[in-house]
Structure 1
């Protein structure tokens, strides 16, 4: 009975979202590579239907999964629900470890951001109202792609970053305490170089130009995520003293699945944050 109810709820949620949004499936943000046999990742775009506004806010969602798993299609409900709130939502795939490392992933997320800045106007999105969000590893990659200057994204061009139980915000600190092993492809993802661990850590690129943050952390999440977010917000406070972690009474995975329900208060909270920081 419980399973039937859950299926009905998901179906109703999907149907409601479908009525309110249009899905553009497998849009390209990278040029095909002749040298690589690995499939070029693509993205899904969720556009509000029947909106009279031609300059809608834009949210790029980066999925998590230990940097070695996950796919964009899992998050269709999230995309549809934000589109139902009047937000053009971009959900990319990206190449996973062991087929690339953190640097390759961050380059691809930066490419998504640049594509969005250049082309989202075709979908009624506002290129000057782009926000980045991500769960777990996705929070790390979204923040890193914006904050590390080597990826070429001007942080002042991004209206805000929403971290959802983000991992990896200070990989240098974490890997010094827990050297990378073959588990979860961590050696491939992070290498064995402390200099690269620092290069991979958004915490070391905070400055006065860093976009505004909205930060969620689960009360029942992993201790490493609690630690990295505490270190990150302590380092952020000299530049954004008003920011506080919003704690939620959830484990790690429910921190993102809460956005699968159209009645979630978090949807409205994120949209309100976006509206208050539109450029």
Structure 2
């Protein structure tokens, strides 16, 4: 297509058809003390009557834990819903208003809300998959793998990490101690024990849900290193896991999903069908 802007508009028009969006649903049982606003989520469900008890995909966006908003990812929810996947796009409180633990707690609450309510949107809570890009990958992994957040790993059918950041913050912050830049000091503190608690790599176990990993071959070196370390840690429990490497930088790892014909959709749906 010669005009990329026209192509994007056409994609958005096409994928909007046949999809019902339920917007700004508050999911917290109680507002966290240091949250300025109550976060909410959007649900995208297929309209066609043939779609009932569909698999569910819960998505958490990235943004370095200090930026981003769920409204930017309507294309993601619509594209998956058009393909018969009920999709939940989660918003959460960002740094400096929230630290990593508040964010993770909110994501865990969004997961619990989905498990309890998604049948109202044609979804099957027993077929719940989690996915996140960048910081979002960190948050879904930590919320699921650290029992402190109250998610039963067996209730999650699978986790799809898309160029996930923060999988080993302990290792990263030992090399680059947090400062006020990017609000990292308020996000992670200056305590190495906190960094360890914030790192999903320390919670891998035989109970970890089946994982699918995308990693950009041109991504940030810190993400490349952390994903390699995470893969090494989880290999004893999931020996067949191999990351899918794509010839992309970090942001295009997410923006590729604007195109509803992108091969990632069928790869992810295949993973969901197999688990």
What interval of TM-score do these two structures reach, taking the shorter chain for normalisation?
A: over 0.9
Do structure 1's residue 72 and structure 2's residue 52 form an aligned pair? no
Number of equivalenced pairs? 275
Q: TM-score, normalised to structure 1's length?
A: 0.96
Equivalent residues of 2:32, 2:102 under 8 A apart = no
Partner of 1:106: 104
Q: Is 1:206 matched with 2:204?
A: yes
Matches of 2:140 and 2:265 in 1, distance apart?
19
Aligned to 1:238: 236
Return the alpha-carbon distance in structure 1 between the equivalents of residues 118 and 201 of structure 2: 29
Q: 2:45 matched to which residue of 1?
A: 47
SS at match of 1:58: strand
CA RMSD of aligned residues (A): 1.5
Residue by residue, what CA displacement relative to the aligned partner does 1:200-219 show, whole Å, maximum 9, x if unpaired? 00010011110001000001
CA contact (8 A) 1:51 1:86 kept: no
Distance 2:12 2:197 in 1: 40
Q: Distance in 2 between matches of 1:231 and 1:35?
A: 34
Partner in structure 1 of residue 193 of structure 2: 195
Q: Give the drift of 1:36.
A: 6.1
1:97 and 1:189 in contact (8 A); partners too: yes
Q: Where does structure 1 lack aligned partners over 5 or more consecutive residues?
A: none
- Aligned equivalents of 1:229 and 1:37: distance in 2? 30
Structure 1: how far apart are the matches of 2:33 and 2:229? 40
* TM superposition shift of 1:37: 7.1
In structure 1, how many angstroms separate the alpha carbons of the residues matched to 2:229 and 2:80?
30
For the 8 Å contact 2:138–2:165, the answer to whether it is kept is yes
2:12 to 14, 31, 35: 14
Q: 1:34 to 1:258 in 2, by over 3 A?
A: closer
Cα deviation, residue 258, structure 1? 0.7
Provide closer, same or farther for how the CA distance between residues 38 and 243 of structure 1 changes in structure 2, counting only shifts above 3 A: same
Equivalent position of 2:138 in the other structure = 140
**1:210 and 1:20 mapped to 2: Cα distance?**
35
Cα 1:37–1:240, aligned 2, differ >3 Å: closer, same or farther? closer
Q: Per-residue CA shift, 1:118-168, capped at 9, x if unaligned? A: 000011100001001000000000110000110000011100000000000
In structure 2, how many angstroms separate the alpha carbons of the residues matched to 1:200 and 1:159?
23
Q: Whole-Å Cα distance in 2 between the matches of residues 67 and 11 of structure 1?
A: 29
Q: CA deviation at 1:51?
A: 3.5
Alpha-carbon distance change, 222 to 143 in structure 1, aligned in 2, over 3 angstroms: same
Equivalent residue number for residue 152 of structure 1: 150
Taking the aligned partners of 1:160 and 1:43, their CA distance within structure 2 comes to 20
Q: Distance in 2 between matches of 1:232 and 1:158?
A: 19
C-alpha displacement of 1:22: 1.1
Taking structure 2 as the reference length, the TM-score comes to 0.97
Flag the 1:16–1:208 CA change in 2: closer, same or farther, 3 A.
same
Tell me which of 86, 89, 98 is aligned to 2:87: 89
